[in-house]
Structure 1
Amino acid sequence: MSSSSSSSPSSSSALAADTAPPEKRSRIPKVPFWAQILLGLVLGVALGWAARNWDVAWLGTTLTKIGEIFVQLLKLAVAPLVFFAITISITNLRNVHNAARLATRTLLWFMATSLIAVAIGLVIGLLTNPGAGTGLSAKDAAKPDTQGSWLDFLTGIIPTDIITPFTELQVLQIVFMAVVVGIAALKLGEKAEPILKLGESVLTLLQKALWWIIRLAPIGTIGLIGTAIKDYGWNLIGSYATFTADIYVGCALILFGVYPLLLATVAKVNPLQFFRGAWPAIQLAFVSRSSVGTMPLTQKVTERLGVPKEYASFAVPFGSTTKMDGCASIYPAIAAIFVGEFFHVDMGIKEYLLIVFVSVIGSAATAGLTGATVMLTLTLSTLGLPLEGVGLLLAIDPILDMMRTATNVAGQSVIPLLVSAREGILDRRAYDNATSIDLAAFDGEPQSAGAAA
């Protein structure tokens, strides 16, 4: 029998592949997410400058509304996201060996890096005297509408009912309820499985919806940056030049100095690979100014860098509400020195130690939302400094908050890496092979660590 008279299945498949029509490709190239963000920054600065200098009212209003809508969309998912993420993260610890040990070490590293950050903030503030020669006057100061005190912080953790924390976005109270529910579910065991499965489904749904909001970040960037330039211009930055530089330098030292040093010496991994994998979360934090809003992306990049999912799902949600090296350590330290110098209040060793105490213990007061007013008022009230000083800093806060939040989010990913490495559960192969998530082509569905986006 001639071999030419018949064909094998493999040859038929090859022939079909050869004769199949070529796959249609989009003529519009996909723009990387980082490039979209950069374009949003440039457009935001340009449009904000035009609205301010050419007095284009409709343009200024449009920029403000775009920024407000983007932040509102992020906040819309915050309450249920925090509740379900922390509840499920606690129950996931039942699948982790030495869960109590991991949780304890995570909190200790949170405190240790906060201590380093506040020390850097104090040194920078004492060396540069940020409150001197600003050109501002006492009429620029005003008490803030929102204030924080230790009594409010301690009593405000426990809610009076289960509805108000969600309607008024009391994140600390939501965290408290989530912890209670999570621990109760662990104690109930199998009886709680139906509720936990429902919670996991709701959490997946919320994260999927939040991915859609994240994809709008370039547009939100135009509104947020444009509004900042329109409202404050460059003259305001000049008045706060030293203070602004102090915050950015302090955060940069933590972000590009302390964290890489810890990764190299404690985790014994390549720090550059960390930035390669975690950069999408850091850049989103910079433009969104929300640690909680960035939380799903932070958890995703942390898992892709080799941290076990069960542990990352605990450490990252808790870090998003309590781990704030930028907002709760660098910022209040330098801000307290600024306010003290502005109002000519001398501070000594006791006051500086109080700043350290507030920063390390009270960082949960920032709650992962945009701005750090509550943490700053908590610090000033503890030191006995005039709360009117907060009014001096509110104008420049949006510009500072971008760098602070980027630092926060980086720390929320670094700590799980350190703990995982020390406990021997870090997937170093996944870490070394992890690639950056391109959100322009990412659909929000789970991917394995190290997989290409």
Structure 2
Amino acid sequence: MAASAPLRPASEAGPRRRKSWDKHTWLYVSVIAAVVLGAVLGLVVPEFATTLEPLGKAFVGLIKMMIAPIIFCTIVIGVGSIAKAATVGKIGGLALIYFMAMSTFALAIGLVVGNLIHPGEGLDMHGAQYAAEGEAKTTQEFLLGIIPMTFFSAFTGESVLQVLFIALLTGFALQGLGERGAPIMAGIKHLQVLVFRILSMILWIAPIGAFGAIAAVVGKTGVAAIWSLGVLMVAFYITCILFIVGVLGTLLYAVTRVNIISLMKYLGREYLLIVGTSSSESALPRLIAKMEHVGVSKPVVGITVPTGYSFNLDGTAIYLTMASLFIATGMGNPMSISEQIGLLVFMIIASKGAAGVTGAGLATLAGGLQTYRPELVDGVGVIVGIDRFMSEGRALTNFTGNAVATLLIGSWTKQVDMMRVRRVLSGEVPFNEASLSGDGHGSAPKEPVVATSGAHGSGSGSGGLGSAGAAAH
């Protein structure tokens, strides 16, 4: 007993000791510094800067190495998550249909904007030696090429579609096995942890890869490269704003008569938290508590929010398609409409299940390019340089999309108290910031208003949502 006494203050002192920056912040700053240094070097000594291109290619090579295991694990687990969510009935099924529709719409918007502004035009991101790579295939050859020679050969070849095909078969087979497949699914989840751990290790050399890639492209193109990267970032943020206000805002008002600006004002503290961490995952428990407080029933919040964190990534969808078009144009090989549609379909499937893991979006982007235009994958190195600048936009858009989805699903299933929604958003019923609780929040309209202890007291609250809701950008 005496020995345990000094341990308590020590453990309590840990959280109180304020650290100015954590390791992820250092990585964030390092990438930004590397981009700036690479751009300056490319402008000052362009001849030397172009010789640094192998640094960017080496980093991209490491990312390519991880594409197959990442796609396999995330698709298998994603298929299992869809089945699990669909079993909850009307709420889960409706949520999944909505998420798929909105993700597809967001991907399409990214393609439309990309085709309008032609990001990457005038860049020189690729050597001429790659221009002739790849032969055109007929539709029949393309479809037959999806089937691998053996089950395991898919993981050693260069066709990501073969890995996707095997992953889908495995996922549906595990569904059919029921409880007997649970140990296998658990093993794949453990494998996913290992795979993403390796990916996180690779991302620590992102500053070196970004430095080499940016230095080389600026050395070849000059100020035009910096301008094109800036255009992409500005266009991305404008697209996200238009999507939030124009698409999500219009849909929210049409269904619930709620102004999206008032909803965003209500979630103001969560937005500040997301901007500070560059991830919507940090705001997950608060979103659950606040959506219950605003008047949406606990079952709807408990199903919609965590599922949306994996399947409703509107900002990430916009980013994936715009970044793909940027790379294709910048490397002098713009995508045809058929390739863009194929890429969109691939992204719809491949972007599910890997949300929340840092670098998953980058791997999905590389996987899509590897599938349809392998010669464009090297351009991912340049995107790494500005990826961090756009992470906040992705996270904020994803977060807003999930908040809107929760209100919409609650309205469609008649499990939201609209009178309470208006009172909360007008400030009449304040949210208890101290305990993350509200006055009777989370009650369905057909139930009596009962005071609860907050989201953390709910069976469908933040507890147990860590894996399903790992979120985000």
Please tell me the TM-score bracket, short chain as reference: 0.5 to 0.7
Larger radius of gyration: 1
Q: 1:44 aligns with which of 25, 34, 46?
A: 34
Q: 1:110 aligns with which of 99, 103, 106?
A: 103
Summarize the alignment of residues 11-50 of structure 1 with structure 2, pairs less than 5 Å apart. Answer: 22-23=9-10, 29=19, 31-33=21-23, 35-45=25-35, 48=38
CA shift digits 1:43-87 (9 cap, x unpaired):
534775798759999x96996698468636754751442243223
Q: Which residue of structure 2 lines up, in the alignment, with residue 192 of structure 1?
A: 178
Aligned equivalent of 1:84, options 76, 80, 87: 76
Q: Normalising by the residue count of structure 2, what TM-score does the alignment of the two structures yield? A: 0.57
Structure 2 residue aligned with 1:363: 344
2:321 alignment partner in structure 1: 328
Q: How does 1:107-256 map to 2 (within 5 A)?
A: 107-125=100-118, 131=121, 134=122, 143=131, 145=133, 151=139, 154-168=143-157, 170-186=159-175, 188=176, 191-204=177-190, 206-207=192-193, 210-211=196-197, 213-214=199-200, 217=203, 219-233=204-218, 236-240=221-225, 243-256=228-241
Q: What runs of 5+ residues in structure 1 fail to find an aligned partner? A: 1-12, 284-297, 343-350, 380-386, 435-443
Could you say if the C-alpha distance between residues 33 and 150 of structure 1 is closer, same or farther in structure 2, counting changes exceeding 3 Å?
farther
One-letter amino acid of the structure 2 residue matched with residue 31 of structure 1: W
Q: Is the 8 A contact 2:77 2:189 kept in 1?
A: yes
- Gaps of at least 5 residues in structure 2 are 253-259, 289-299, 351-360, 425-430, 438-463
Q: Tell me the equivalent position of 2:291.
A: none
Q: What's the offset of the Cα at 1:207?
A: 2.8
1:446 lines up with 2:439 in the alignment? no
1:9 aligned residue: none
d(CA) in 2 for partners of 1:29 and 1:119? 43
Give 1:247's aligned amino acid.
Answer: L
Alpha-carbon distance, 1:447 to partner: 8.0
Structure 1 stretch displaced more, 28-37 or 302-311? 302-311
Deviation at 1:313, TM superposition (A): 7.1
Distance (Å, rounded) in 2 between the aligned partners of 1:417 and 1:150:
44
Specify whether residues 301 and 237 from structure 1 end up closer, same or farther in structure 2 by C-alpha distance, changes over 3 A only.
farther
- Displacement, 1:209? 6.0
CA, structure 1 residues 22+205, in 2 after alignment: closer, same or farther (shift >3 Å)?
same
Q: Closer, same or farther in 2 for the Cα pair 1:309/1:175, shift >3 Å? A: farther
Once residues 316 and 153 of structure 1 are traced to their aligned partners in structure 2, the CA distance between those partners, rounded to angstroms, is 33
Opposite residue 106 of structure 2, the aligned amino acid is: T
Once residues 420 and 51 of structure 1 are traced to their aligned partners in structure 2, the CA distance between those partners, rounded to angstroms, is 48
Q: 1:183 to 1:258 in 2, by over 3 A?
A: same
Describe how 1:290-439 pairs up with structure 2 within 5 A: 305-306=287-288, 324-329=317-322, 331-332=324-325, 355=337, 359=340, 362-365=343-346, 369=363, 399=385, 415-424=401-410
Question: CA shift at 1:223, angstroms?
Answer: 1.7
The answer on whether the counterparts of 1:121 and 1:329 sit within 8 Å (CA) in structure 2 is yes
Task: Give the 3 Å change call, closer, same or farther, for CA 115–241 of structure 1 in structure 2.
Answer: same
Q: Distance in 1 between matches of 2:150 and 2:134?
A: 21
Q: Report the Cα distance in structure 1 between the residues aligned to 2:379 and 2:268, rounded to whole angstroms.
A: 34
Inter-partner Cα distance in structure 2 for 1:230 and 1:102 = 44
Shift in alpha-carbon separation, 1:79–1:50, aligned structure 2, 3 A: same
The amino acid of 2:99's aligned partner reads T
Alignment-mate amino acid for residue 216 of structure 2: D
Distance 1:303 1:264 in 2: 23
Letter of the structure 2 residue corresponding to residue 117 of structure 1: G
Displacement of 1:171 in angstroms is 3.8
Using the TM superposition, give the Cα deviation of residue 227 of structure 1 relative to its aligned residue in structure 2, in angstroms: 1.9
Alignment-mate amino acid for residue 252 of structure 1: Y
State whether residues 63 and 227 of structure 1, in contact with CA within 8 Å, keep that contact through their aligned partners in structure 2: yes
The percent identity for this pair of structures is: 14
Whether the 8 Å CA contact 1:323–1:363 is kept in 2: the answer is no
- The whole-number CA distance in structure 1 between the counterparts of 2:201 and 2:123 is 41
1:423: how far off? 1.0
**Mapped contact 2:218–2:225 kept (Cα < 8 A):** no
Q: Is the 8 A contact 2:39 2:214 kept in 1?
A: yes
Structure 1 residue 145 displacement after superposition: 3.2
Contact 2:110 2:321 in 1 (8 A): no
Residue 199 of structure 1 deviates from its aligned partner by 0.7
SS of corresponding position for 1:23 = helix
Does the aligned pair in 2 maintain the 1:255–1:407 contact within 8 Å? yes
Letter in 2 for 1:176: F
Q: Whole-Å Cα distance in 2 between the matches of residues 108 and 80 of structure 1?
A: 23
The Cα of 1:16 is off from its aligned counterpart by: 11
Task: Give me the TM-score of the superposition, normalised by structure 1.
Answer: 0.59
- Tell me the distance in 1 between the aligned counterparts of 2:271 and 2:106: 18
Q: How far apart in 1 are the matches of 2:233 and 2:154?
A: 33
Q: Distance in 1 between matches of 2:388 and 2:19?
A: 29
Aligned pair in 2 of structure 1 residues 272, 393: CA closer, same or farther (>3 Å)? same
Partner of 2:317, secondary structure, is coil
In 1: Cα distance, 2:117 partner to 2:26 partner: 34
Alpha-carbon distance between aligned partners in 2 of 1:316 and 1:248, rounded to the nearest angstrom: 23
Contact 2:67 2:367 in 1 (8 A): no
RMSD: 5.9
Q: Rate the CA distance shift 1:277–1:192 in 2: closer, same or farther, 3 A.
A: farther
State the Cα distance separating 1:115 from its structure 2 match.
3.3
Could you say if the C-alpha distance between residues 63 and 84 of structure 1 is closer, same or farther in structure 2, counting changes exceeding 3 Å?
same
The one-letter code matched in structure 1 to 2:29 is L
